[in-house]
């Protein structure tokens, strides 16, 4: 009856009087029943395969030789796991002690470089010889500077294509020094261009302007779309001076700093 109403033509002719709505509903029901039937058949086949495999294993394990072999393999696996666990605990304790004795911040363990370092250790295997103090201070430092320069050049090429935003962020360290970070933002990421100690000039608008202007010159005026600073009075004056000299770019207040100031007023 279902195939007759659904019009599947399976062992029966299609009903000519059934409405389209009923035909669609019955067809969905038939398809669902067929899918369930196929699923049950597949499960039955899998169960038969597993049952046959278990019987074969039990038959093989019944002989004294196989029983002894099974026990030896199981015991050996347990010993290996315990040995590896002990080695891992010892290695982890050594890594933790390295953090403690050298006063390394714990969140360094979350860095990508830390994970990559340990991964490369494991790939090398036994007998790895760590770099000497001289190698870290001279050889590999020079290589890292070269790699950083190459990465920065790739960013500079993007600045020329897409333009960029210079972001200026000032903060005070534990020694009460005013440190200013210069960052360059583009669609594919942010580059920390440099950081300087601006304690002697941070309050003087003209000096701040000269500092901002030199950064624009370094990045390339033709590549800069805007310069973003905080809302301090000296940066406001410096920003207007910058736009007066550099007609191609805009000075913009940091929205986050503005919101922060508004919330402080509310509190």
Q: What is the mean pLDDT of residues 117-131?
A: 86
Domain 146-266 listed as CATH 1.10.287: no
Domain ranges (residues) in the chain: 2-60, 65-126, 146-266
Q: What is the mean pLDDT of residues 38-61?
A: 61
pLDDT(41) > 80 = no
Q: How confident is the model at residue 28 (pLDDT cuts 50, 70, 90)?
A: confident
Contact 202, 180 (CB under 8 A): yes
Residue 149 has, within 13 A of its CA and on its CB side, a CA count of 6
- Per residue in 68-97, pLDDT (tens digit) is 455 555 555 665 665 566 778 888 899 999
**Residue 68, pLDDT score:** 46
Per the model's pLDDT, the better-predicted residue between 132 and 62 turns out to be 132
Say what the pTM is: 0.55
Percent of the chain residues topping a pLDDT of 90 = 33
pLDDT in tens, 169-190: 888 888 888 899 999 998 878 8
Instruction: Please enumerate in sequence order all residues whose Cβ is within 8 A of that of 212, keeping only pairs 6 or more positions apart, or say none.
Output: 166, 168, 227, 229, 238, 239, 242
Q: How far is CA 155 from the centre of its chain?
A: 19
């Amino acid at each position: 009856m279902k195939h007759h109403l659904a019009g599947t033509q399976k062992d029966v002719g299609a009903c000519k009087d059934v409405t389209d709505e009923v035909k669609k509903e019955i067809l969905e029901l038939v398809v669902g029943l067929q899918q369930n039937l196929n699923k049950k058949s597949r499960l039955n086949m899998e169960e038969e395969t597993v049952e046959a495999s278990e019987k074969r294993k039990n038959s093989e394990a019944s002989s004294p030789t196989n029983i002894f072999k099974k026990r030896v393999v199981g015991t050996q696996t347990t010993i290996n796991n315990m040995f590896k666990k002990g080695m891992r605990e010892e290695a982890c304790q050594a890594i933790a002690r390295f953090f403690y004795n050298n006063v390394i911040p714990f969140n360094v363990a979350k860095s990508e470089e830390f994970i990559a370092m340990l991964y490369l250790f494991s790939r090398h295997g036994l007998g790895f010889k760590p770099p000497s103090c001289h190698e870290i201070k001279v050889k590999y430092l020079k290589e890292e500077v070269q790699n950083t320069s190459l990465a920065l050049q790739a960013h500079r090429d993007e600045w020329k294509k897409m333009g960029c935003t210079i972001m200026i962020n000032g903060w005070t360290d534990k020694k009460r020094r005013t440190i200013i970070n210069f960052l360059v933002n583009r669609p594919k990421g942010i580059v920390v261009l440099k950081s300087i100690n601006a304690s002697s000039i941070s309050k003087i608008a003209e000096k701040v302007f000269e500092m901002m202007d030199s950064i624009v010159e370094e990045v390339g005026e033709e590549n800069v779309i805007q310069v973003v600073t905080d809302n301090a009075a000296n940066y406001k004056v410096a920003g207007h001076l910058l736009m007066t000299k550099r007609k191609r770019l805009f000075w913009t207040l940091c929205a986050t700093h503005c919101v922060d100031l508004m919330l402080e007023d509310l509190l």
